[in-house]
Amino acid sequence: MMDLADPEALGFNPVRLARIGAFLEERYVGPGRLPHADLLLARGGQPFYRVTLGQARADGTPLQDDAIYRIASMTKALTSAAFMMLLEEGKVALDDPVTRVIPEFAGLGVYTGGGGDAPFAPARPAMSVMRMVDLLTHMSGLTYGIQNRTNVDAAYRKARLDGHPSLASNDHFITELAKLPLEFDPGTGWNYSVGTDVLGVIVARLSGMNLGEFLQSRIFAPLGMVDTGFHCPPEKGHRLTDSWYYAPGEAPKLLDLAEKSNTLRAPRFESGGGGLVSTTADYHRFCAALADGGGPLISPKTLALMTANHLPGGQDLTALSRALFSEAGNAGIGFGLGFGVVVDPAKTLVQGSLGEFHWGGIHSTAFFVDRLEKLHMVFMTQLLPSSTYPIRRQLKTLAYAAMTRSFA
């Protein structure tokens, strides 16, 4: 069990905090809209509220506070931090061309037509160079097959390029990716993509370790993240949750049975964009380090650079995104080096602070860090896709509504 600080001493009303658990139970877990929910709030690195509800598995196994979850795209924040650690050591720069480390990308061009059941038309030469910063900001011209939007997306799905653990190796992933055209000239648009998977390959090549080894030695071990990795070891398998997917008008359907899950086996490809499993307590430790200005990982100035809005002209995701995250709910949200960043709190229509950063995973997991208020939240569940319910916005509303003392 995790020790919790007195919420009143940290500026939170216990009665209002209790609304969070009641809301999750009454709105989501009790009616079966979510199989389970685990939420942690901390201020100044001190956890002060925790609620754990529901069943970890379809057989009725109750959710425990040490449950292991597929965190999917919450992996991106860790991979981005790993890259910035190498940047701090002078091994790479944000304006370096990606081809400095990934020479296989030298011939990449931009889509002109074709695909689907026909060959791609010859790609035109890119008008700009893909830089490291473009991978971090999702402005590289790469894409995700899960977007189901273009013929390039379809080619990604066919080649299983969305970070699939069965990919033969880092080199295989890069080689296959280099065969496909870019969606647009690097730096000219925002498109959620496998760019962070490419970043993971870059971390591996620059460090001389595989990505899992680097994350373990440089992030997980220093922070005490003892249950985070690219697979769930068999001896911890009893703590792995099942995963479900949303079926309109029906109860959630079982997607991945924990006892037979691929996450119990080490992957052939370690996806820096979405391959990690973790626990609420472990991810809290990572968020606490970021809330503290980077903790033992990166310097405060590096974190400030990561959490600045890097979208051209100070735009937000609704203005610049080509597909995913172009929704009105992302008004006022820019993008930094691995995180979504609040650039206009009023436009978000949700309580929060300028500069608060966040992201989530496709299984509906989420985190946010508000450095002005020294506050962070970690939320875990396992329901795909993450767009099923507006729960992330609802939980932020409830969390900030419980605050009685502001530091901003």
Neighbouring-strand partners of residue 41: 49, 377
Kindly report the CATH number that applies to the domain delimited by 66-294. 3.40.710.10
At 174 the three-state DSSP class reads: helix
pLDDT of residue 116: 86
Residues of 50-77 as b/e, b for ≥16 C-beta within 10 angstroms?
bbbbbbbbeeebebeebbbbbbbbbbbb
Rounded-to-integer distance, Cα 395 and Cα 389, Å: 11
Tell me the C-alpha to C-alpha distance, in Å, between residue 88 and each of 60, 83, 165, 302, 329.
Answer: 47, 9, 29, 8, 34
Burial of 233 (0-12, 13-18, 19+ CB in 10 A): middle
pLDDT of residue 252: 94
pLDDT of residue 247: 87
DSSP assignment letter at 70: E
User: Which of 75, 195, 194, 199 shows the shortest CA–CA distance to 145?
Assistant: 194
Tell me the C-alpha to C-alpha distance, in Å, between residue 291 and each of 153, 296, 403.
Answer: 36, 12, 17
pLDDT of residue 251: 87
208 membership: H or E segment, kind and range: none
Low-confidence ranges of the chain (pLDDT < 50): 326-327
Tokens 């991106």, residue?
76
399 membership: H or E segment, kind and range: helix 391-401
Neighbouring-strand partners of residue 53: 37
User: Which of 321, 322, 378, 136 shows the shortest CA–CA distance to 333?
Assistant: 321
pLDDT of residue 156: 97
pLDDT of residue 231: 98
87 membership: H or E segment, kind and range: helix 75-88
Question: Domain coordinates of the chain in residue numbers?
Answer: 1-65, 66-294
pLDDT of residue 325: 60
Q: What are phi and psi of 224, to 5 degrees?
A: 75, 30
Nearest 5°: CA angle at 58, between 55 and 63? 20
Q: Please, where are the H alpha helices in 143-296?
A: 151-159, 170-177, 195-207, 211-215, 221-223, 280-291
- The residues, ordered by sequence, that sit 6+ positions from 147 with a Cβ below 8 Å of its Cβ are 153, 192, 323, 324
At 376 the three-state DSSP class reads: strand
Tell me the C-alpha to C-alpha distance, in Å, between residue 217 and each of 120, 139, 205, 220, 227.
Answer: 42, 29, 16, 6, 14
pLDDT of residue 324: 66
At 405 the three-state DSSP class reads: coil
pLDDT of residue 131: 98
pLDDT of residue 368: 98
Sign of the Cα pseudo-torsion (57, 62, 67, 73, in order) = positive
Rounded-to-integer distance, Cα 38 and Cα 50, Å: 7
Write the DSSP assignment of 279-337 as a string of letters.
Answer: -HHHHHHHHHHHHTTSTTTS-HHHHHHHTS--SGGG--HHHHBSBTB-SGGGTTEEE-S
